A and B are shown apart, each in its own frame.
Chain A
């Protein structure tokens, strides 16, 4: 096993750059929207084959074990090359959670199959009436012998139509405070009684799904953590999620998009444009530095605190501001819902807007994140 962290930053950057140039399919560079498994699955398997699928996982669990500095280089190179995001919820969510809170049997059963791409994970958190107030969720699981029987409905499950497994929050006690009656289950999507209905989003693609559960039997051994302690499992996962969605990845990719567009439109000749571009470049540089602080905390084995919410806010709002600037810079190119002819090339304009919109909503809206900072970090009284 290669010790990536022992390499110099420059050597590592060079190796990552060469890897993407050599292995990543040219026709999938800079995709304007999230890709499905039938489009990007081969790339997942390529990464898996070379041991590159889990850059942040510890080496003993099959990851690359990159330290935060190296991980940032990895992300930068990935976004500069225009590498698409894979269906990565197993890698960024379930894996780290099981490593931290799963039992040995669960780790053995699930981790290798995440790495190999045999299992593709999706999330079952939100419900039609439980959005920001997630803990009010009502999808119910009742113990019957060695199984739970699950009934209810989940929504906003990203790419659930491609998922082989779902991690799911369920109500297991209705008689106690809402946070104290929730459990965390791992579900095989082939189990009878599960119906997946894709939903079209603003860009016309089927990105999210509604998932219905009708007497779905889930083995008790698939519960992570203890019965009715699922909320604390979910909260641990939420901080991984905030670290992941707080990564500079999306803002970095939008910046690359903006710079490419500017070269095509000739905007670089305009001093006002350049000033605004530089401000975004500085924002992304400082976002990198902030991300690094939190990543280093994780690497030292410390629990992430409520202050991780600032990373989610800064990352998603930087992304959204750059996306808005892409739309402005694209001018009449925004009249096309797909690529436009700009200069002598085809370029997307509105796709950046579409992709950035959900980031300030999902993973806890940015308004909820600000509430968390005010009360959980600054100690202001609850309103």
Chain B
């Protein structure tokens, strides 16, 4: 797979994908379902996951040779936006698209090929365990290490903020070695693996993993000279996908709020007729349109990206924008709802919580800004982009 992880796709195909995702989301997903799954302690639904796979979504970016559809990033973004708008609880990015992208960049091999096929078929939900601290881009001491033993290798240490926290069948683990960072596959049932899962604000889960695991020689997915670059590239791609899901959440929160302004009456008037609120609604609309333009711009940039630096810039640009707008729109939407917006029974708060989670995942806007600053300081000033 190329560094840009995009494949040429026709406008018409994109439109059809978007339409089918919209129809599916309207029929099967909604904020109430997320709340119910959360309250039942189930988090997400494996049957719906199977349907995702049947629709081709779990393998959307996986090549056809490996059992997927090879349709690229733009297609995945087109599907994620309507799913995000209905607050899909299923971890489509974390459990399929991100690990699929990582595996696609790993050298071919029996293990890799099996995992890719199983992700595409929906049989396998995988997770990437790569973070060692609060800032995914800060270079700190490695917290997971791999060392040679007579029978193979041993993995020791702790990986933080792994998603999905519950429900993953196995993990791609980034581990430090003397000569770099290698990637390994560990089954969820592996001896010596502890998963400490916590509930996220949006009803999903995040986990810290502790390893003291012995591995056979066949568990290595990428050698130490490749692992770090693979993870960095895939995390950028996933950040763009998360931006598309955020854009959906922005649209959802905005739509609910405009509906509320049109129906809620106080002082014998529809509150949406008050100019003070109209101007705030106009500003939310503007932010939503800017976020959408930013995503389109980042996808165009990535299509032309020739370097890992261009890829980083495209990812940071849109992740900063969509994270910030989703947070701002969520907070303002609650305010425009008044007291009812602060209750768990109203959907608007669920949108805000999703904005917090997706905003913080894969680098929040401040962390992406610091990364951009480091790129600029390396002597590559930002060019204006479209």
Contacts and interface: CB of A to CB of B under 8 A. Distances in A.
Contact of B258 (A274, A279, A288, A380): A380
A118 B282 CA distance: 42
Contacts of A314: 286, 290
Interface string B372-386: 110010000010111
Interface string B280-316: 0111011001100110110010000000000000000
Contacts of A88: none
A181 B278 CA distance: 30
A5 to B, nearest CB: 15
Interface residues of B, number: 33
Contacts of A133: none
Contact of B283 (A278, A370, A383): A370
Given A314-B290, A374-B278, A286 B272 contact: no
A375 interface: yes
Given A278-B372, A286-B321, A69 B386 contact: yes
Interface residues of A, number: 41
A274 B273 CA distance: 41
Contact of A293 (B262, B272, B296): B296
Interface in A8-50: none
Interface string A316-332: 00000000000000000
Contacts of A313: 282, 286
Given A292-B386, A367-B279, A278 B273 contact: no
Contact of A286 (B281, B294, B300): B294
A284 B286 CA distance: 14
A228 interface: no
A286 B297 contact: yes
Given A275-B373, A381-B270, A383-B273, A286 B279 contact: no
Contact of A285 (B272, B274, B297): B297
Given A293-B293, A307-B289, A370-B282, A282 B317 contact: yes
Contact of A290 (B282, B289, B384): B289
A381 B272 contact: yes
A281 B320 CA distance: 12
A288 B369 contact: no
A152 B382 CA distance: 51
A380 B272 contact: yes
Interface in A328-374: 367, 369-371, 373-374
Nearest to B384: A76
A204 interface: no
22 contacts: A274-B376, A278-B373, A279-B369, A281-B382, A285-B384, A285-B385, A289-B385, A293-B293, A293-B296, A370-B278, A370-B283, A373-B281, A373-B286, A374-B278, A374-B281, A374-B282, A378-B278, A379-B258, A380-B258, A380-B281, A382-B273, A383-B273
Interface of A: 69, 72, 76, 80, 248, 252, 255, 271, 274-275, 278-279, 281-282, 284-290, 292-293, 307, 310, 313-314, 367, 369-371, 373-375, 377-383
Interface of B: 258, 261-262, 270, 272-275, 278-279, 281-283, 285-286, 289-290, 293-294, 296-297, 300, 317, 320-321, 369, 372-373, 376, 382, 384-386
